[in-house]
A and B are shown apart, each in its own frame.
Chain A
Amino acid sequence: MSEKIGVYVCHCGTNIAGIVDVADVSQWAGEKLAANGVVISRDYKFMCSSLGQELIQKDIQEQGLTRVVVAACSPHLHEKTFRNACQGADLNPYLCELVSIREQDSWVHTDKVAATEKAKAILSGGVARVEHHEALEPLRVPIHPDTLVVGGGIAGIQAALEIADAGFHVYLVEREPSIGGHMAQFDKTFPTLDCSACILTPKMVDVGNHPNITLLTWSEVQKVDGYIGNFVATIKQKARYVKIEDCTGCGICWEKCPKKVVDEVFEAGLGNRKVIYTPFPQAVPKYPVIDAPNCTYFLKGTCKACEKFCPTGAIDFNQQDEEITVQVGNIILATGYDLFDVRRMPQYGYGRLANVYTSLEFERLGNAAGPTGGNIVLRDGKTVPKAVGIVHCVGSRDQNYNPYCSAICCMQSLKFAHLVHERTGAEVYNFYIDMRTPSKGYEEFYQRLLEEGTHFVRGKVAEVTNLARIPEEEGKLIVQVEDTLIGKQRRIPLDMVILSAGIQARHDAKEVGKLFGISCSADAWYIERHPKLDPVATMTDGIYIAGCAQGPKDIPASVAQGAAAAARVLGKIQQKEISLEPVRATVIEEHCSGCRICNDLCPFSAILYLEDKKVSEINPALCQGCGTCVAACPAGAISGTGFSNEQILSQIEGLLLLNIRQLEAVPA
């Protein structure tokens, strides 16, 4: 055995040592795997600590180890740590193998004997594999300095501004005609009661004017190719039917447009808009779009009122959708959330009982720029409610709908209660399951509401109905609820009920995730690289997530994530080039028969057939290292670096303890 292998078994405190007998594993490896080249076998409390790493480095230098196997946690956590430790002692980092006896052993098994046996097998697999490791050099690729930000809500705006302010170019893509996202729909923000538009619109204007930001609204990303540092995104710019180079945003077109439709997006169905429109007065960009499916001209071929009155001749009914491609180094996804569809809970009467509102409708109702000019009135447009109920957790914390807490509804409901109280003087009832006010200033806001005289009823609302049982209930909405604090059923007659709907992932989050090559949780939130330590990166290098696309959160948290994602991107841009894992496939020319079976298997078109040599060749910059061609080559002419046949076949032998069994079989 020419290699000198060092084996290091980690206790991870009691995380591993509590189930696996680490001392036994280490001793076993030292004895039984000596024939496989193990010259040192140690166990240590925390291998990842600096002392643990120094232990490895000292052995490499003093004992001349040529290979290192660490049995500890998942390679997804600490592979880099141990590779770096080896590099620090002048051992090529790829000659180190980390095998997991924590996530894949001690944490999932309860039988100590079986877990210890399994740890030995796993370790033996690592030792057998590492012998066939080769010294590798990481691939260096340049990072394109431009960034694509998808989603122009507050998280995307923050991310775009941070990067643009740092001097790098950003493409900000937004599906709607204007950036602003949900925050632009709100009247006030909790708990400070800042005017939402007042704090948001200056940022929107900054985005619109920023020399480093190319704003692509009314656009959607169609396709993404490439990898970190070198993505190519194809973006569809939907036809606005307005020439933005001529449009001044004067607004005459939407004044003159004769057709009104219900605005289901920005006004949440509560108000109307014209067919040529900007979603709201402070829209960025200021240019309107024509809603072609509703436009009289597109439907009937006549009208063109907007064109007639446009002072600059900016209307162009012949405009077509356009596709543009941009090259970027990094991508931030800040695609936001959808509101839970409260119609799925018919017992709450939304859509059937006029004065039952969704939270987003109420935001528009209370908004000074909204359909009622900020007057909180019933659907008839004039009656001021005298008693208002706010139902928390609609569609959240409910096993029938979404099991998670939507994080914002308690505070949002408190905000509503305050606004109703302040503007109408109505009695306000909040129906809650648990009050959750865990951020700065939130609990104080709750206390303020308690002092304002808002009624808090602890219990999940069973039903909202208009079927009166007693004369006092006639003409009212009645909330039937068990008040769990007094242990009684209550029926509370009200004029208005607001359903504080939960938030959920975008309806197309999964498809969008696929487009960018990142995965979603079961609830369709995008999965971060690590829930605690890497909250804005994803498993796909160069793709970051921010805001509610990652999970329910409020505005401060979305802004923080937007900025965090920007910081991560700026860090990558500053490096100018990045090291990629040298896990690549290569064709051994003299073994290649030129059959071309591999050519069509590669989804990245990395394999080229060289007509002159009659062999295939792999472009390492395009190869992503999946290894499908390696497995498919009938001649065995393709080798997969880092995952070679020898490495994997040896690991199988090791896992099955073949090496040991064969040795033991000899004397018997």
Chain B
Amino acid sequence: MTETFEPVVIGFTCNWCSYRAADMAGTARMKYAPNIRLIRLMCSGRLDPTFVLKAFVGGADAVMISGCHPGDCHYVEQNYKALRRFHLLKRVLTQMGIEPGRLKLVWASAAEGAIFADTVNKYVEEVRALGPLDWPAKNLESVSTPIMEEVHA
């Protein structure tokens, strides 16, 4: 019998929309995969790309970034900054040999608990199909860039 691979996904949520969507999924007892572990930021704009790299270095198999829908940001437009960093990160990750599918961006309003739960479920399955990243074991020694040094610091 082979053990199913249970990926670990780190989820970054914003205080106003997506964390509240997760709250709502909870209050409504919607069920989703236990593979995601959430971090609450005030805004998706707070997401320093280093956080994502840190998660991969620490052994996460994927990272999900979530924020308010475009136009709905509690801080007017900071989720657009998250969107920019998301695209930038995808390119950087690809260059580092990490599949772009290991990073996901999802917009979820405070009312969209169902969307949040559904997205997590689908994403966990996608990551499961990608298999373990195991980046620390594979790459920790071989990668030595200024970014990585900062991450390790």
Contact = CB atoms under 8 A, between A and B. Distances in A.
A625 B38 CA distance: 20
A640 B23 contact: no
A640 B78 CA distance: 15
B58 A652 contact: yes
A643 B41 contact: yes
Interface string B48-80: 111100110011100000000001101111100
B54 A626 contact: no
Given A103-B22, A519-B17, A626-B78, A108 B30 contact: yes
Interface residues of B, number: 51
A129 B85 CA distance: 24
Contacts of B55: 652, 656
Contact of B37 (A76, A110, A122, A661): A122
B103 interface: no
B34 interface: yes
Nearest to B43: A626
Contacts of B6: 114
A80 B109 CA distance: 23
A627 interface: yes
Nearest to B40: A75
Interface in B62-107: 71-72, 74-78, 81, 85
Interface stretch (A241-249, A317-325, A501-509, A628-636): A628-636
B127 interface: no
A109 B45 CA distance: 29
Nearest to A520: B111
Interface in A596-645: 601, 603-604, 624-628, 630-632, 640, 642-643, 645
A514 B71 contact: yes
Given A125-B39, A649-B54, A630 B46 contact: yes
Contacts, number: 146
A529 B48 CA distance: 29
A522 B111 contact: yes
A539 interface: yes
B58 A603 contact: no
B50 A649 contact: yes
Given A519-B110, A631-B49, 17 more contacts: A102-B26, A104-B23, A107-B29, A108-B25, A108-B31, A115-B34, A118-B34, A517-B74, A519-B109, A583-B42, A604-B76, A625-B42, A626-B46, A628-B78, A630-B46, A631-B45, A655-B10
Interface of B: 6, 8, 10, 16-17, 19-20, 22-23, 25-27, 29-34, 37-43, 45-51, 54-55, 58-60, 71-72, 74-78, 81, 85, 109-112, 117
29 contacts: A74-B23, A102-B26, A103-B22, A104-B22, A104-B38, A107-B26, A109-B34, A110-B31, A520-B109, A522-B112, A527-B110, A539-B110, A601-B78, A603-B75, A603-B77, A604-B75, A604-B76, A624-B75, A626-B46, A627-B45, A631-B81, A640-B42, A642-B42, A648-B48, A651-B39, A652-B55, A652-B58, A656-B37, A656-B60
